[in-house]
Chain A
Amino acid sequence: MRTRSWLPLASMSTLIVALGAYAAIRQDAFLTTYNIGNLLLTTMPLALVAMGQTVALLVRGFDVSVAALMTMCVVAASFTLKPGASTLALVAGALAVVGIGVATGVFNATLIRFFRLPSIIATLGTLSILEGASLWLRSAPAGAISSDVVETLNSSMSFLPFAFVGVAVLAVLGDLWLYRTRPGLALRAVGLDETSSRRLGMRTGLVILLAFVTCSVLASFAGFYLAAEVQIGSPIIGNQALESIAAAVLGGAALSGGRGSFVGSLLAALFLTEIDNVLPLFQQPTEYAEMTIGGLILLALLLYQAPELVGRLRAGRRKVAPLPARTEGAAPA
Chain B
Amino acid sequence: MSEPQGAGGLAAGAPSPKPEGSVVLSLRGVSKAFGAVQALRDVGFDCRAGEIHALVGENGSGKSTLLGIASGFVRSDAGTVEIGGRRLRRASPAEARRLGLGMVYQTYSHVQGLSVAQNLFLAVAGAGQPPFRRMESWAAEQLAAFQLDLPPDAPAAALSLAERQLLEVVKALLARPRVLLLDEPTTALGPADVERLHQLVFEQSRTGVGIAYVSHRLPEVLDIADRITVLRDGVGQGTFEASAMSEDSLVTLMIGRPLQLAFPERPGAPSPSDVVLATEGLHGDRFGPIDLSVAAGEIVGIAGAEGNGQLQFLRALAGAEPAAGRATCEGRGLDLGSPLGPLRAGVVLLSGDRAGEALFPVLSVRANATIQILRRFGRLGILRRGRERQAVDELGQRLRIRAASIEQPVQSLSGGNQQKVSLTRPFLRGSVKVILAEEPTQGVDVGSRFEIYEALRQKASEGVAMIIKSSDPLELAGLCDRVVVMSRGRIVQEIAGGELGERRIVEAIVGSGVVNAAKAGP
Give A contacts to B, CB under 8 Å.
1, 180-182, 185-186, 188-189, 192-193, 195-203, 258-259, 315, 318-321, 323, 326, 329-333
Contacts and interface: CB of A to CB of B under 8 A. Distances in A.
A330 B516 contact: yes
B322 interface: yes
Contacts of B29: none
The residue in A180, A201, A326 that gathers the most chain B C-beta atoms within 10 A of its C-beta is A201
Interface stretch (B280-288, B371-379, B446-454): B280-288
B102 to A, nearest CB: 10
A232 to B, nearest CB: 45
Contact of A315 (B112, B132, B322, B490): B322
A319 B289 contact: no
B73 A196 contact: no
Given A199-B103, A318-B323, A329-B490, 13 more contacts: A1-B155, A196-B111, A200-B93, A200-B109, A200-B111, A201-B125, A320-B323, A323-B288, A330-B492, A330-B516, A332-B508, A332-B512, A333-B512
22 contacts: A1-B155, A180-B133, A181-B132, A185-B122, A186-B122, A192-B111, A196-B112, A199-B103, A200-B122, A201-B94, A203-B94, A318-B322, A320-B283, A320-B285, A320-B322, A320-B324, A323-B281, A323-B289, A330-B492, A330-B512, A330-B516, A330-B519
A321 B92 CA distance: 48
Nearest to A197: B111
Interface string B72-89: 010000000000000000
The residue in A196, A319, A326, A331 that gathers the most chain B C-beta atoms within 10 A of its C-beta is A196
A198 B110 CA distance: 10
A192 to B, nearest CB: 4
Contacts of A326: 289
Contacts of A331: 515
The residue in B284, B324, B514 that gathers the most chain A C-beta atoms within 10 A of its C-beta is B324
B160 interface: no
A319 B123 CA distance: 38
A189 B97 contact: no
A12 B443 CA distance: 50
Interface stretch (B113-121, B243-251, B351-359): B113-121
B333 interface: no
A202 B122 contact: yes
The residue in A182, A198, A203, A321 that gathers the most chain B C-beta atoms within 10 A of its C-beta is A182
Contacts of B175: 201
Given A200-B123, A318-B322, A193 B112 contact: yes
B122 A199 contact: no
Given A1-B155, A319-B322, A198 B114 contact: no
Nearest to B122: A200
Nearest to A314: B322
Interface of B: 73, 92-94, 97-98, 103, 105, 108-114, 118-119, 121-123, 125, 129, 132-133, 155, 171, 175, 281, 283-285, 288-289, 322-324, 337, 487-488, 490, 492-493, 508, 511-512, 514-516, 519
Contact of B114 (A181, A189, A202, A203): A189
Contacts of B288: 323
Contacts of B516: 330
A4 to B, nearest CB: 11
B138 to A, nearest CB: 12
Contacts of A319: 322
Contacts of A180: 132-133
Contacts of A320: 283-285, 322-324
Nearest to A184: B132
The residue in B103, B122, B132, B289 that gathers the most chain A C-beta atoms within 10 A of its C-beta is B122
A258 B68 CA distance: 26
A198 B73 contact: yes
Nearest to A330: B492
Contacts of A193: 111-113
Contact of B511 (A197, A259, A333): A333
A212 B408 CA distance: 35
Contacts of A196: 108-112
B493 A321 contact: no
A201 B71 CA distance: 10
B361 to A, nearest CB: 13
A329 B494 CA distance: 13
Contacts of B337: 318
B93 A198 contact: yes
Contact of B121 (A185, A192, A199, A323): A185
B133 A333 contact: no
Contacts of A332: 492-493, 508, 512
A329 B322 CA distance: 22
A248 to B, nearest CB: 18
Nearest to A189: B111
B323 A199 contact: no
A189 B122 contact: yes
Q: Which 9 A-B pairs have the closest CB atoms?
A: A199-B109, A192-B113, A318-B322, A201-B97, A201-B94, A193-B111, A320-B324, A189-B111, A196-B109
Contacts of B487: 330
A258 B113 contact: yes
Contacts of A315: 322
Nearest to A198: B93
A330 to B, nearest CB: 5
Nearest to B112: A193
The residue in B93, B97, B103 that gathers the most chain A C-beta atoms within 10 A of its C-beta is B93
A200 B92 CA distance: 11
Contacts of B488: 330
A254 B371 CA distance: 32
A330 B94 CA distance: 51
B490 A330 contact: yes
A84 to B, nearest CB: 50
A329 B171 CA distance: 40
A182 B129 contact: yes
B112 A321 contact: no
B146 to A, nearest CB: 18
A259 B324 CA distance: 37
A199 to B, nearest CB: 3
Contacts of B93: 198-201
